[in-house]
Amino acid sequence: MTQRTSGTGARGIRRTAACAVRTLLAVSLAAVVSATLASAPANAVSDVNVGRRFNDGLDTRYSVTSFTAAAQSMGYSATGYTGGRNVDDVFNDGAGSAVLGLFGHANAGIFQTNEGATDAQDSILAAGTTTDLVSPYANVRFLTEYLPFAEIDDMRLLILAGCDTSLSSAWGDFNKAAASRGVDSVISFSGLVYYPATTAGTAISTTNYSGNYFWDRFSYHAKTGVSVSTALARARTDLVAKEGKAGGWDRYVIRGTVANPGGITLKPAAAGAPLGSEPLATEGFSSFAQLTPVATTTGQGPDGDVVTAVTTAEGVEYRVRQDGSVLDSVAVPTTGGEITLTSEQARDAAQRFVSDNVAGFSSGWRLVTDEAVSHLDGDALRLLRWRTVEDGRAGAREVTAEIDRRTGAVTYLSANRGSGTADFRLTAEEAIAATRSVVGDTAGTADAEPDVWNASRWVVTVDRGLTGRDGARMPDVERLEIDSRDGTVLSRTRT
């Protein structure tokens, strides 16, 4: 997809000469303000999470509360800021944290941690480049201000839960900057991601959908002791099961200093580690029946029903519904070596696997996605997604597979279904008009996609381009689900 960056000149903000020598930073823990969650006992390994309801309605507070509660239950001294946080405080938090989670507005190389009285006063954490050793800007700090392998070397996980955070810009590259400073594992995203869009006064408890639901489920899975890679994959499945769309959260990217950044676990609570082992890639397999289970556990699936999680000797982890069908599976991709499958061969192999392992799948399903995707450095994956067809439109069943083009192993599989049936009484034009009326926008580019999941709906997207602080602008995209029968707004999300 097109990289979203902005500004003119090197960064679009007039820059004064930076100091050539980095001054020592005084690192102190900021006092917990009123808009924070209760923290666990002191002296435990620290976790800090930051989000808020932003002025444009983007609401990440539920993500913060979910992950903070999960971190506390895993033994971290966890603090969640649901009213945003000044970037100087966030910078200081990072120096003392094993886990730092940021949830909100972002773009390539920049992340907004709080609103200012004006756009120019917004707090921004930037990645930084090799020359960004001291920030000359008000309300902007750089990851590269930390001393290499000294001040955040104990950080086990950095979560950058916003749009395009895996991409690079004149502001730098978050993944490279974090790895250069010693962070074990960094979770970022390679495209637009959506959170709930709410009105002022909305209770946090009512916002567990879209991106907030993704992070709620990630938090749930992390507590079981699985790797961050498995927790992300399962949260992705659960979000699609609930809403029929991944909202961009399936495009996660994992990087870091350790050899296997996707393999780290958050339970038990621990600081970062200096060493790691290379991931052992999964060999190709044709069915789950041929795998050797070594452990099984039960847990809660996306619909609240009990599912069984199976760990195998071959490195595949999969979840099974009560009826015996596979909900999803996760395996380890290769990160080097010769690519042996063309894109067409990968598609054919993935379709054979799905045909053999997903009940009801047939050649009549429509292939809606066929593209390259990457989660780990050096992997070579192809993503395929199929939907059933109802009245010529996407129906209420989907299967997604990711296949390793080196081994032919399916490294991710999910099979989900909704409960709705196609009933399109409104046209696309009527759905767009209803959306513009709700959001009060007549200028943004709008498109409508017909879709069936738990309801027959039009998914309308309004793209206003970039907005925010000059030189550090962020994507301004809003998405509404409109009931295709009567025009009722089913959900409202934004980037």
pLDDT band for 275, please (50, 70, 90 cuts): low
User: pLDDT, tens digit, for every residue of 221-230?
Assistant: 999 999 999 9
338 Cβ contact partners less than 8 Å away, ≥ 6 residues apart: 406
Answer yes or no: do 102 and 224 share one domain.
yes
Check residues 44 and 164 and name the one with the higher pLDDT. Answer: 164
Closest by Cα among 345, 277, 341, 290 to 318: 290
pLDDT band for 38, please (50, 70, 90 cuts): very low
Answer yes or no: do 382 and 473 share one domain.
no
Q: What is the CATH number of the domain that holds 67?
A: 3.40.50.1460
Percent of the chain with pLDDT over 70: 90
d(CA 472, CA 124): 8
d(CA 370, CA 390): 20
Pairing of strands 445-452, 366-373: unpaired
d(CA 298, CA 288): 18
What pLDDT was estimated at residue 271? 87
Answer yes or no: do 251 and 300 share one domain.
no
User: Considering all CA atoms of the chain, what is the largest pairwise distance in Å, rounded to the nearest integer?
Assistant: 66
pLDDT band for 199, please (50, 70, 90 cuts): very high
352 Cβ contact partners less than 8 Å away, ≥ 6 residues apart: none
What pLDDT was estimated at residue 279? 74
Q: What is the 3-state secondary structure (H, E, C) of 367-422?
A: EEEEEEECCECCCCEEEEEEEEEECCEEEEEEEEEEEECCCCCEEEEEEEECCCCC
pLDDT band for 276, please (50, 70, 90 cuts): low
Q: What number of other Cβ atoms are within 10 A of residue 80's Cβ?
A: 27
Answer yes or no: do 207 and 309 share one domain.
no
Query: Does 269 fall in a domain?
Result: no
Q: Is the pLDDT of residue 24 over 80?
A: no
Q: Amino acid identity, residue 1? A: M
Picking from 417, 439, 469, the residue at the C-terminal end of a domain is 417
Residue listed under structure tokens 């015996």: 324
What are the distances in angstroms from CA 338 to CA 334, 335, 384, 451, 466?
10, 10, 21, 39, 40
User: pLDDT, tens digit, for every residue of 448-468?
Assistant: 999 999 999 999 999 999 999
Q: Which domain holds residue 332?
A: 288-417
Q: What is the CA radius of gyration of the chain?
A: 22
Main-chain dihedrals φ then ψ at residue 278, nearest 5 degrees: -65, 140
Cβ-contact 186, 127 below 8 angstroms = no
Query: Does 143 fall in a domain?
Result: yes
Answer yes or no: do 205 and 231 share one domain.
yes
Answer yes or no: do 220 and 308 share one domain.
no
Percent of the chain with pLDDT over 90: 85
Overall domain count for the chain: 3
Picking from 246, 263, 280, the residue at the C-terminal end of a domain is 263
Answer yes or no: do 413 and 437 share one domain.
no
What pLDDT was estimated at residue 39? 40
What pLDDT was estimated at residue 268? 87
Answer yes or no: do 314 and 333 share one domain.
yes
Picking from 263, 298, 322, the residue at the C-terminal end of a domain is 263
What pLDDT was estimated at residue 344? 97
Main-chain dihedrals φ then ψ at residue 227, nearest 5 degrees: -70, 165
Main-chain dihedrals φ then ψ at residue 37, nearest 5 degrees: -95, 155
The pTM of this model reads 0.91
Query: Does 54 fall in a domain?
Result: yes
Cβ-contact 92, 29 below 8 angstroms = yes
Q: Is the pLDDT of residue 34 over 60?
A: no
How far is C-alpha 228 from the geometric centre of its chain's CA atoms?
Answer: 11
Query: Does 39 fall in a domain?
Result: no
d(CA 78, CA 63): 14
Answer yes or no: do 435 and 397 share one domain.
no
Answer yes or no: do 372 and 303 share one domain.
yes
Query: Does 5 fall in a domain?
Result: no
Query: Does 30 fall in a domain?
Result: no
Query: Does 177 fall in a domain?
Result: yes
What pLDDT was estimated at residue 492? 97
Q: Is the pLDDT of residue 170 over 60?
A: yes
pLDDT band for 35, please (50, 70, 90 cuts): very low
What pLDDT was estimated at residue 274? 63
Q: What is the mean pLDDT of the chain?
A: 90
Query: Does 144 fall in a domain?
Result: yes
d(CA 31, CA 79): 11
Answer yes or no: do 116 and 212 share one domain.
yes
Answer yes or no: do 197 and 316 share one domain.
no
Main-chain dihedrals φ then ψ at residue 383, nearest 5 degrees: -100, 130
User: pLDDT, tens digit, for every residue of 386-404?
Assistant: 999 988 888 999 999 999 9
pLDDT band for 108, please (50, 70, 90 cuts): very high
Q: What is the 3-state secondary structure (H, E, C) of the chain?
A: CCCCCCCCCCCCCCCCCCCCCCCCCCCCCCCCCCCECCCCCCCCCEEEEECCECCCCEECHHHHHHHHHHHHHCCCEEEEECCCCCHHHHHHHHHCCCEEEEECCEECCEEEEECCCCHHHCEEEECECCCCCCCCCCCEEEHHHCCCCCCCCCCCEEEEECCCCCCEECCEEHHHHHHHCCCCEEEEECCCCCEEECCCCCCHHHCCCHHHHHHHHHHHHHHCCCEHHHHHHHHHHHHHHHHCCCCCCCCEEEECCCCCHHHCECCCCCCCCCCCCCCCCCCCCCCHHHCCEEEEEEEECCCCCEEEEEEECCCCEEEECCCCCEEEEECCCCCCCCCCCCHHHHHHHHHHHHHHHCCCCCCCCEEEEEEEECCECCCCEEEEEEEEEECCEEEEEEEEEEEECCCCCEEEEEEEECCCCCCCCCCHHHHHHHHHHHHCCCCCEEEEEEEECCCEEEEEEEEEEEECCCCCCEEEEEEEEEECCCCCEEEEEEC
What pLDDT was estimated at residue 272? 84
What pLDDT was estimated at residue 269? 86
pLDDT band for 1, please (50, 70, 90 cuts): very low
